[in-house]
Amino acid sequence: MDENEGKSPPKVKIDWQDTLWVLTMGAQGGLLVAVPVLVGLGLGILLDNQFGTLPCIALALTLVGGVLGPVMLYRWVRSSVALHVQKRLDEKKGEEKPE
């Protein structure tokens, strides 16, 4: 017989502030990757129509957006996570100080 049978699972304390932060980071990260690709595609189609070179410029600018998006995402996540971790450490230090 299983020793955990009939017992409820342990309660997990959810930090809603961190949960919302992770969700907003994910949403913003998705946009940071998608927007440069779509801007490159749109601008490329406009330029291709202007110069009659369809699909050359559109493909090139879409690829540029496809490279820039993840690079921007990486830089943004590194700085955002560093700030968030520093903020949480400062909050913990403030809680530990006896008055």
pLDDT in tens, 26-62: 999 999 999 999 999 999 999 999 999 999 999 999 9
pLDDT average, residue stretch 59-83: 96
Q: Does 6 map to a domain? A: no
Residue 5 lies in a domain: no
Q: Express as a percent the part of the chain with pLDDT over 90.
A: 66
Residue 11: Cβ-neighbour burial (10 angstroms; 0-12, 13-18, 19+): exposed
Give the global pTM.
0.76
Range of the domain at 52: 28-92
**Domains of the chain: total:** 1
pLDDT at 34: 98
Tell whether 97 is covered by a domain. no
Least confident window among 2-11, 61-70, 78-87: 2-11
Peptide bond into 55 cis (omega under 30): yes
